[in-house]
């Protein structure tokens, strides 16, 4: 019975809309009634247009790969930067030896001054202005002890890569030092090493 009524209603609506009349649906909630009309073409155009746009976008970016997504572009640029960094690191390490660091870099006042300027920017907060780590946030760099090796290149490696971490990213004992390779270029790290050596002439005389 109800179904029949509904069908009648539909026929009525069809008829009315053909005559250009506004059709209201029969139900009403809290005084709110609903139109029963075809959506305007401009609206349908934006709706179907959005679907078509989505299909083209999806195909071009994600299926055919005709245009790089921002993410792909960034990943490529990052890979390039990484490669350049690795090249620079290799060149710097090849050109440096423990001997050169101790007897040429650490004795060159301008290199040491550059290293000191970098140290005062990023390192002194934990290692102290006099390198003796008074606040214990870092290790003393003037106590004659070198936890991860006393060779200048080992110190270079430590500053570049940070102290070794366990599987949870923590240092095996106490605090870990973060890697500075992303902040400083290999040359700058060598300058930092030269500065540290210059403050420990006795430790490094043997090289
Ligand atoms: C947030 C604090 C912090 C900052 C900033 C910091 N370090 Fe460290 N550093 C540490 C900690 C902690 C250790 C000890 C790590 C360990 O035991 O694994 C350490 C260890 C070291 C060591 C090894 C010392 C030794 O006795 O073996 C060197 C060298 C060093 N840092 C150099 C630097 C340089 C150069 C900078 C600046 C570019 C720097 N640190 C910035 C916290 C810091």
Query: What per-residue confidence (pLDDT) applies to 171?
Result: 59
Query: What per-residue confidence (pLDDT) applies to 166?
Result: 75
Q: Quick check: CB of 192 below 6 Å from ligand 1? A: yes
Burial class (CB in 10 A: 0-12, 13-18, 19+), 126: middle
131, part of any domain: yes
Pair 35, 98 in one domain: no
Pair 180, 113 in one domain: yes
The per-residue pLDDT for range 91-119, each reduced to its tens digit, is: 999 999 999 999 999 999 999 999 999 99
Mean of the per-residue pLDDT values for the chain? 89
Query: What per-residue confidence (pLDDT) applies to 169?
Result: 64
Return the best residue to mutate from 138, 143, 147, 175 for the ligand 1 pocket (most ligand atoms within 8 A of CB).
138
The per-residue pLDDT for range 47-87, each reduced to its tens digit, is: 999 999 999 999 998 899 889 889 999 999 999 999 999 99
- pTM of this structure: 0.74
Print the domain residue range for 92: 81-204
Q: What average pLDDT does range 132-136 have in this prediction? A: 90
Query: What per-residue confidence (pLDDT) applies to 11?
Result: 75
Q: Give the nearest ligand 1 atom to 183 CA.
A: 38
CA–CA separation, 134 vs 83, rounded Å? 38
CA angle 120, 121, 126 (to 5 degrees): 70
pLDDT above 90 as % of the chain: 63
Q: How many angstroms separate the alpha carbon of residue 36 from the centre of ligand 1?
A: 73
Number of domains in the chain: 2
CA–CA separation, 141 vs 121, rounded Å? 16
Pair 91, 185 in one domain: yes
């Amino acid at each position: 019975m109800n179904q029949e009524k509904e069908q009648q209603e539909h026929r009525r609506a069809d008829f009315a809309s053909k005559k250009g009349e506004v059709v209201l649906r029969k139900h009403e909630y809290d005084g709110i009634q609903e139109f029963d009309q075809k959506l305007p073409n401009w609206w349908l155009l934006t709706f179907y247009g959005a679907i078509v746009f989505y299909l083209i976008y999806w195909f071009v970016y994600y299926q055919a790969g005709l245009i790089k997504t921002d993410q792909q572009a960034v990943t490529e640029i990052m890979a390039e930067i990484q490669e350049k960094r690795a090249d620079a690191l290799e060149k710097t390490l090849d050109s440096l030896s423990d001997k050169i660091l101790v007897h040429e870099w650490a004795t060159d006042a301008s290199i040491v001054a550059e290293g000191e300027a970098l140290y005062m920017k990023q390192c002194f907060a934990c290692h102290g202005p006099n390198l003796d780590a008074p606040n214990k946030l870092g290790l003393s760099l003037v106590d004659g002890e070198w936890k991860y090796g006393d060779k200048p290149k080992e110190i270079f490696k430590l500053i570049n890569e940070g102290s070794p971490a366990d599987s949870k990213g923590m240092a095996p004992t106490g605090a870990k030092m973060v890697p500075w390779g992303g902040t400083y270029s290999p040359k700058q790290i060598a300058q930092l090493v030269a500065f540290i050596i210059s403050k420990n002439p006795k430790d490094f005389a043997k090289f």
